[in-house]
Structure 1
């Protein structure tokens, strides 16, 4: 009996991250009996933090966060798909990118992962509670503050999400962060962003300093206190009947001022193939399978996935069983800010959120906060200069 080709994959441990990979692997094995694919999972924090270098030594397939792209390109720990997939396939992926999801894994002219999952912070609500209380969905940030004063608003206040939200406030005030080498953002924009952020954080229960986005949604679905989340990375799972105690509806972001809806920070996940794999060709073929529009619109999304292919987001069938999650939030994805991906940026991302969290919790001088994150930002660029 011929020994099977075995591929090992690592993804993150939520229904959105793990179940669709197992389902697509099962179907791929049925179509390719000579292949066996085993998926393992890690926590959301490990997903964001653990080095690709470590993971690429153990696994053939890696579901990665796009800020790792510059690191992956510099270390050549994952393979560029341009060297293995035909141009037509990659062009379809590019044309059907949800926002900048495809671009987020492109670095130095090469495609280091396929965007199988797309996400950005969007708003979420409990429509049943809003109706029961006679409340309307907020349209502006002022509306959100008014609802928060009633104790009905929550969002994630863990460090990495706080940093992403700080980026969002800056973008929504008209300035993209990290556009210059010496500072994250100008003093005027940074101070205003921090003050606006704190005005909302002060009205939010302290338990949300320990909750990531899906924990916020679990809280909303399983209790009857929070009726609205103004921004958190969207999870279509909670918009599906039967997944949680109550169905959540998801929406575009409110307006901060007369510039229109807020601009959040792109998230999502990409599927990469380890350069150390003994079966690169098979791993690439499986990645092609997962990223294809037909699988993204069927097996992948039906098993809890949040696809990265635009055709799935626009699919009537997909939207019908997700309370229109994809169509309603797509505008936020299309304008989302693509954060930096240079070699040393993960050092900045790992620590800058702690500085802003301390300010939100305890108050303090906004200029001192900006000085501290600017210092960290400059240090992170030196990491690239030394090791890149």
Structure 2
């Protein structure tokens, strides 16, 4: 009997990251009996930290964060989808992108991953708790602050999530960060953002300095204290009946002021990439195309806990009926989400800048000193890009 073609894949260890990959692999194997696909999982932190270059030496398939795109392009460790998949398939992926998800994996004119998972920080609530308290859903930052003062608000204060929230606040104030070589954001905007952010974080329990977004949702569903999370990378799993002890509903973000539209958040999500180092790149590409196809995204993928990246799934009545309208309610948030930098050197900045903001949120101090430090780290990352890029 002929030996099977084996592909190895790596993703992150949450229901949303792991289960849909195993389910799609199982179905792909049934359709292609000569292929075997083995998926492994790692923690969310490892998912963000371990270099795609290192992973590509070990795995044929990788679920990656889009900030790795520039690094991957520079190192040549990923296979470009344009070189393997039909142009009409990629055009459909681009035209049905949820927000800038497809574009986030496009760098130097090549597509380095398919946007199989779409996410951005959205708001989450426990409708039952708000109802018990006789409170409406917060609409403005002032409403949010009032709820936080009651001890009913939680969100991730881990460095990476704090930095993403900082970016979102800047965009919501009308200034997208990292647009110039010499600074992250103007001192005027940056100072206002830091003060506003701290006014909110001061009313959060310190346990949120140790929780990533899905740990916040676990906290919200396992206990009956936190009624609202103003921004955390959305996980539609928690809006599905039976997944957690209590059901969460997800929403667009609050507005900073009555007259403004909802806040802007920082695009996340995950993409499926193929190593250029594997023996069976064509088979890995065929599987990636299968996973990203609108039919699979809307059925097998989402039914097994996935959070699809194809617009057809987000607009599907059936999918929304199973998720308390998660996708319909948060699509506007995704469509206007900010696409953060992806140049090779930016990862070092992203890994360390959040610590500076967290230190300020915890201990206060001079906003100017915080911004000066962020600017210094940012300029260093640009030099690194020019040196190694």
TM interval, short-chain normalised: over 0.9
Name the counterpart of 1:3: 3
Name the counterpart of 1:336: 337
Name the counterpart of 2:104: 104
In the aligned structure 2, how far is the partner of 1:133 from the partner of 1:25? Answer: 45
In the aligned structure 2, how far is the partner of 1:285 from the partner of 1:357? Answer: 43
- Aligned positions of 1:51-130 closer than 5 A: 51-130=51-130
Runs of 4 or more consecutive aligned structure 1 residues displaced over 2 Å after TM superposition: none
Q: Secondary structure at the match of 1:263?
A: coil
Name the counterpart of 1:296: 297
Name the counterpart of 1:307: 308
Name the counterpart of 2:322: 321
Q: Secondary structure at the match of 1:270?
A: strand
CA offsets per residue over residues 10-35 of structure 1, 9 Å max, x none?
00000000000000000000000000
Name the counterpart of 2:187: 187
In the aligned structure 2, how far is the partner of 1:132 from the partner of 1:359? Answer: 35
Question: How far apart are 1:340 and its partner, in Å?
Answer: 0.2
Q: Secondary structure at the match of 1:147?
A: helix
TM-score by length of 2: 0.99
Question: How far apart are 1:348 and its partner, in Å?
Answer: 0.3
In the aligned structure 2, how far is the partner of 1:141 from the partner of 1:232? Answer: 15
In the aligned structure 2, how far is the partner of 1:130 from the partner of 1:298? Answer: 33
- Aligned positions of 1:96-245 closer than 5 A: 96-245=96-245
* Aligned: 1:385 with 2:360: no
Question: How far apart are 1:133 and its partner, in Å?
Answer: 1.2
In the aligned structure 2, how far is the partner of 1:14 from the partner of 1:190? Answer: 34
In the aligned structure 1, how far is the partner of 2:244 from the partner of 2:233? Answer: 17
CA offsets per residue over residues 294-351 of structure 1, 9 Å max, x none?
0000000000000000000000000001000000000000000000000101000000
Q: Secondary structure at the match of 1:256?
A: coil
Q: Which ranges of structure 2 fall in alignment gaps of 5 or more residues?
A: none
Question: How far apart are 1:259 and its partner, in Å?
Answer: 2.6
In the aligned structure 2, how far is the partner of 1:152 from the partner of 1:53? Answer: 42
Question: How far apart are 1:382 and its partner, in Å?
Answer: 1.1
Question: How far apart are 1:132 and its partner, in Å?
Answer: 1.1
Q: Secondary structure at the match of 1:82?
A: helix
Question: How far apart are 1:61 and its partner, in Å?
Answer: 0.1
Name the counterpart of 1:351: 352
In the aligned structure 1, how far is the partner of 2:343 from the partner of 2:282? Answer: 28
In the aligned structure 1, how far is the partner of 2:169 from the partner of 2:368? Answer: 16
In the aligned structure 1, how far is the partner of 2:279 from the partner of 2:375? Answer: 42
User: How many residues are matched?
Assistant: 388
Question: How far apart are 1:89 and its partner, in Å?
Answer: 0.2
CA offsets per residue over residues 197-234 of structure 1, 9 Å max, x none?
00000011110000000000000000000000000000
Name the counterpart of 2:277: 276
In the aligned structure 2, how far is the partner of 1:261 from the partner of 1:135? Answer: 20
Name the counterpart of 1:263: 264
In the aligned structure 1, how far is the partner of 2:371 from the partner of 2:309? Answer: 34
In the aligned structure 2, how far is the partner of 1:43 from the partner of 1:357? Answer: 22
